[in-house]
Amino acid sequence: MWNIRTPAQTAAIFDRHFSEYGKAFDLVASDNPLRVEANMARRIAATYWPPQFATSMGFNFDCVVYHSYEPNAFAAYRDGEHWTGISTSLVYVLAELAVRMAAVFPIGDPDDPPLALIGADGAGFRFKHADFAHPKEDAARFFRQAHAFGPLRRRLLNVLWLDSQVLVWRHELFHATLGHTRFLQSHFGIGSLTEAPRNGTTVTDGDVSRMLRALEFHADWAAFGSVLKMATSNHDAAGSDLRKRLGDRWRAASMIASVIMLPAFFGAAEERGAPAGIDHPSAAARLSIFLSRIGELSDPALRDEWRRGSGIALRVFDELSRQHPDFAQFGMMLSEESLSAADVERIACIDDFDSLQNELVPFAALPLGHPHQGGVDPLPGDDAD
């Protein structure tokens, strides 16, 4: 888990170290469904590193949701401690995305058919800062369409939102455990890794950009492997019920949907364009990374089910991109040309990572593994309840 501190203690330390991001948000002392689910996702992500393992590795870390209208996430190393955080805006963007995705998925239940999205306002992301600027957010504002969902579709909604948040948390936590944040601080004075450039800033040096992109690839590779292992095990806190009811194929479809959802947050808030992304893999490349991890599943039958489930999700998003302008970016990401270029980009990221990995070893709390291997070795916490 993370450091045992009161929320007030954590908030005070976070605010002192990271005032540029925003105030820490208290997720624990709330019965608001948005915050309850966000806290559950944070806990699922953090259980990958049990207390005894984290202590034995000298890995002290904290996971914080911070108040910001800018959809973002970060990992940093300050005063001997690792910090990861995601913004309130990202939490709510993913919530709204999950509602849209759950509405259109064809889950095969005649009593719970797919629902038509309700025009541009229904498909888009029309929240304002005031929607989550106070302690009692209007949860119905984000889940208004879910009232029409049947029980299974509501379960799918919950899985999509939890999965997407856990993916972000795991990505940021792997930046810490694999030594990325300490390495960058030591060699380049870079204080934190952010998922989206703040205030329009980005790295302009070509060599540094390639290095950062390789580190982002490494975090994706490890995070995707960890959630894939979780989702195909008996320790799937987010999706075990969905898997029991619909099988591995639909568990795969929901996970792939969550992977595809993540790039959408870059352009989700109104009046905000997508970042340049020169120091991150493209959205299509990140999808390519996850699909390549599916290909590493050792059980042929399970691997085939996950590939079929991936096909379901890809078709849903392709259709959605044709029906709603707000989701046109999905169609561009899933085009044959884009996915072909993504495979080339993924291989280039591996090559760039090859030249970095020996330098990362002294800074890592976990063995690095390698993108050509079948997993991060060891996988602490996979056998823990």
pLDDT exceeds 50 at position 140: yes
Average pLDDT, the chain: 76
The Cβ of residue 39 has, within 10 Å, a number of other Cβ atoms equal to: 18
Confidence grade of residue 300 (pLDDT, cut at 50, 70, 90): very high
- pLDDT digit string, tens, across residues 170-179: 899 888 888 8
- Domain limits, the chain: 92-133+149-363
- pLDDT digit string, tens, across residues 201-233: 444 567 788 888 889 888 888 888 888 888 888
Tokens of 127: 């929240």
Q: Cα(62)–Cα(60) distance, rounded to whole angstroms?
A: 7
Confidence grade of residue 266 (pLDDT, cut at 50, 70, 90): very low
Least confident range from 140-144, 234-238, 272-276: namely 272-276
**Entry pTM:** 0.86
pLDDT exceeds 60 at position 234: yes
Tokens of 335: 């085009």
Look at residue 185 in the predicted model and tell me its pLDDT: 87
Look at residue 339 in the predicted model and tell me its pLDDT: 86
Residue that has been written with the tokens 């800033």 in this structure: 201
Q: Cα(263)–Cα(120) distance, rounded to whole angstroms?
A: 19
Q: Which of 64, 299, 79, 226 is nearest to 238 (CA)?
A: 226
Confidence grade of residue 260 (pLDDT, cut at 50, 70, 90): confident
Number of residues that make up the chain: 385
pLDDT exceeds 70 at position 1: no
Residue that has been written with the tokens 């970016």 in this structure: 329
Confidence grade of residue 145 (pLDDT, cut at 50, 70, 90): low
Q: Cα(233)–Cα(236) distance, rounded to whole angstroms?
A: 6
β-bridge partners, 84: 63, 75
Choice between 47 and 360, residue whose per-residue pLDDT is larger: 360
pLDDT exceeds 50 at position 70: yes
Look at residue 118 in the predicted model and tell me its pLDDT: 54
Q: Cα(243)–Cα(240) distance, rounded to whole angstroms?
A: 5
β-bridge partners, 64: 85
Confidence grade of residue 199 (pLDDT, cut at 50, 70, 90): very low
- pLDDT digit string, tens, across residues 73-110: 889 988 878 888 888 878 877 887 888 788 888 887 78
Q: Are 82 and 176 a contacting pair, CB within 8 Å?
A: yes
Choice between 113 and 384, residue whose per-residue pLDDT is larger: 113
Q: Cα(355)–Cα(369) distance, rounded to whole angstroms?
A: 14
Q: How crowded is the C-beta side of 328, counted as CA atoms within 13 Å?
A: 3
- Residues above pLDDT 90, as percent of the chain: 7
Q: Are 197 and 275 a contacting pair, CB within 8 Å?
A: yes
